[in-house]
């Protein structure tokens, strides 16, 4: 895929072997951000786990959430640690806090790879579809709003 943020050849995401995270990855294919919500105590949970860490219910649903957050932290790696990144140059990864759900997510910050990254800035989720690989998958990035 030519317009992806990072070069072709990066590792593709696969669900947990035991199926735990499959609903998340299925959701991103539809352009939806889904995380776990406990039917026992109604609290949100991310990353995925088989049990609610608060009330120990095993009855967890997957609910769509709004992809809006703020930049909690970031990094701009320069040194390529994977062959797909050789010669690519620096890029930005962000840790995004979604206050409405009390969770954080990791993705890339779209736009100029050399831009300054303000901690606390508002961002929204952007879906990056990788359709021409087998199996296809969708990553979730972030852009400043």
Q: Which long-range contacts (CB under 8 A, 24 or more apart) does 25-28 make?
A: 25/137, 25/138, 27/62, 27/64, 28/127, 28/137, 28/138, 28/139, 28/140
**13 vs 89: CA distance, rounded Å:** 22
DSSP for residue 11: P
Q: Which of 59, 78, 99, 145 binds another protein (CB under 8 A)?
A: 78
Binding flag, residue 12, another protein (CB under 8 A): yes
Binding flag, residue 21, another protein (CB under 8 A): yes
Binding flag, residue 54, another protein (CB under 8 A): no
Binding flag, residue 82, another protein (CB under 8 A): yes
Binding flag, residue 131, another protein (CB under 8 A): no
Binding flag, residue 74, another protein (CB under 8 A): yes
Binding flag, residue 81, another protein (CB under 8 A): yes
Of 67 and 91, CB closest to another protein: 91
Q: Which of 30, 41, 42, 49 binds another protein (CB under 8 A)?
A: 49
Q: Which of 55, 100, 119, 122 binds another protein (CB under 8 A)?
A: 119
Q: Which long-range contacts (CB under 8 A, 24 or more apart) does 112-117 make?
A: 113/76, 113/89, 114/76, 114/90, 117/71, 117/74, 117/76, 117/92
Is residue 32 within 8 A of residue 12, CB to CB? The reply is no
Where does this chain bind another protein (CB under 8 A)? 6, 10-17, 20-21, 25, 46-49, 53, 72-79, 81-83, 85, 90-91, 93, 95, 103-108, 119, 139, 141
């Amino acid at each position: 895929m030519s317009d992806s943020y990072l070069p072709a050849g990066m590792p593709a995401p696969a669900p947990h072997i035991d199926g735990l995270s499959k609903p998340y990855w299925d959701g991103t294919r539809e352009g939806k951000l889904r995380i776990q919500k406990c039917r026992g105590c109604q609290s949100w949970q991310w990353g995925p786990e088989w049990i609610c860490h608060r009330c120990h219910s095993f009855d967890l649903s997957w609910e769509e959430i709004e992809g809006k957050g703020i930049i909690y932290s970031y990094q701009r790696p320069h040194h390529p640690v994977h062959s797909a990144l050789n010669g690519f140059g620096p890029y930005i990864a962000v840790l995004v806090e979604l206050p409405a759900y009390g969770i954080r997510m990791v993705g890339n910050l779209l736009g100029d790879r050399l831009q300054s990254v303000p901690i606390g800035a508002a961002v929204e989720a952007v879906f990056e579809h990788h359709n021409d690989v087998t199996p296809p998958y969708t990553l979730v990035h972030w852009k400043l709003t």
